[in-house]
Amino acid sequence: MAEIHPGESCEILWNGEELSVKSYIFRVELVEEDDSRWSAGVPTLPGCSTWGHSREEALRNIRDAVEAYIRDMRKAGEEIPKDSILHVIDEPVVAIIA
């Protein structure tokens, strides 16, 4: 594995094209509601919330919601709010929730 230097991007090849990749980690709040469903939200991304019939479904849904939220921000030319990010890793990662 390559050494990681804060502030640098990892360069990877995708279909022969070099891409810069960063992985962002956001804090998620999960709440089991009275009706047994689960609510999930990212408090530092206003309006970014969802729910699921199970904890796992709520986590899958919030991942999709955050991806859409950030994609829309970038399309609009907006920066990701620095105070909303817990951690940035300058390479692709796989997150496992245990």
- The predicted-structure confidence for 34-82, as pLDDT tens digits, reads as follows 999 999 999 889 999 999 999 999 999 999 999 999 999 989 999 887 7
Residue 74 is encoded by which pair of tokens?
Answer: 């970038």
- For 71-89, the DSSP string reads HHHHHTTPPPPGGG-SEEE
Domain that holds residue 50: 24-87
According to DSSP, the residues that pair with 41 across neighbouring strands are 29, 49
Residue 12: inside a domain, yes or no? no
pTM for this model (two decimals): 0.69
CATH number of residue 81's parent domain: 3.30.160.250
**pLDDT-based confidence at 18, cuts 50/70/90?**
low
Residue 18: inside a domain, yes or no? no
Instruction: List the strands of the sheet with 29-32, edge to edge.
Output: 29-32, 38-41, 49-52
Alpha helices (H) along 13-54: none
pLDDT, residue 15, reads 64
Domains held by the chain: number = 1
Residue 2: inside a domain, yes or no? no
